[in-house]
Amino acid sequence: MEFLCTICCAEKRPDEEALPARERYLSPRIAQIVAESEESDRPLLILSGKFGLISAEEPIPSYDEPLEAARVSAVEPLVVKQLREHKATRLMFVARPRTTPGWRPYFDLIDGACKTAGVALLHVVYNQTGEPMVS
């Protein structure tokens, strides 16, 4: 199965009760990818530093735990397991450039997990003007 994927964001709704990930994260990037997911009928997965790879519909609590480079290898087995549970065969990873502050650990995590799980990975990276650059 093919999925769209992006990473979580620091801006979150502060509600105490669990909310679907698509509602918890307040990023225009995530809102845009949610809309693309609905239009293309491809499910969206969000890569979280705390929860791994979660469905956009999965309820999550409020939290603040960005992925640090030192934790990538510890989180990777969880993400491999989640890719297999979702029966993912192809992932379109929609991202800012790898050099964007804070993004490298997420690239390293998704690259390693997809390789281990045998999932085809396509990076769709947006440049400074918002134009996609497929890699």
pLDDT in tens, 82-97: 999 999 999 999 999 9
Burial code (b: 16+ CB inside 10 Å, e: under 16) for 45-57 equals: bbbbbebbbbbbe
pLDDT on residue 126? 77
pLDDT above 70: residue 132: no
Which tens digit of pLDDT belongs to each residue from 4-42? 999 999 999 999 999 999 999 999 999 999 999 999 999
The span from the CA of 75 to the CA of 53, in Å, is 10
Domains and CATH numbers, the chain: 2-134 (3.40.50)
Residue 55: which H helix or E strand, with range? Answer: strand 52-55
pLDDT on residue 69? 97
Mean pLDDT of the chain: 93
Q: What angle, 0 to 180 degrees and rounded to 10, lies between the N-to-C axes of helices 72-85 and 104-117? A: 50
Q: Which pLDDT band, with edges at 50, 70 and 90, does 133 fall under?
A: low
Q: Which pLDDT band, with edges at 50, 70 and 90, does 131 fall under?
A: low
